[in-house]
Amino acid sequence: MCGRFKDEPQIIQVKKDMVIKKLMVLLAASLIALNTNAIAEEMPVTDNLPADIGDIVKVCHQDSVEDEVEADSLNDYLVMCINDELEANEFDPLSYESALKLIKQHTPPAN
């Protein structure tokens, strides 16, 4: 038997291991990129908000009281109200999650 054939299974296994490692690195890089995008989407876009955003949140809270919005619908109402106000003032609307974070930041604690 020739020496070339004796080592061939080991060489094939080494090549398979290299391909598997490359695929795992590619998969890990893809997952990191996806996770980074997901985190970026969750963060509120605060650099493109009007200076009076706190006032907008307060007005929307007052409107919810006047409209007698039920507690289980309050978040949906506030998000819609805030986005309507932003769009009326030529700002981009916020994602639902970003709007909720903004609401929490600008809502005083209940007494």
Six token digits for residue 68: 């007698």
Residue pLDDT, tens place only, 22-57? 888 888 777 787 766 555 555 445 557 888 899 999
pLDDT at 58 over 90: yes
Task: Quote the pTM value.
Answer: 0.57
Rg, C-alpha atoms of the chain? 27
Q: Residue 74: name the closest of 91, 62, 89, 56 by CA.
A: 62
pLDDT of residue 93: 92
> CA-to-CA distance for 81 and 86, rounded, in angstroms?
9
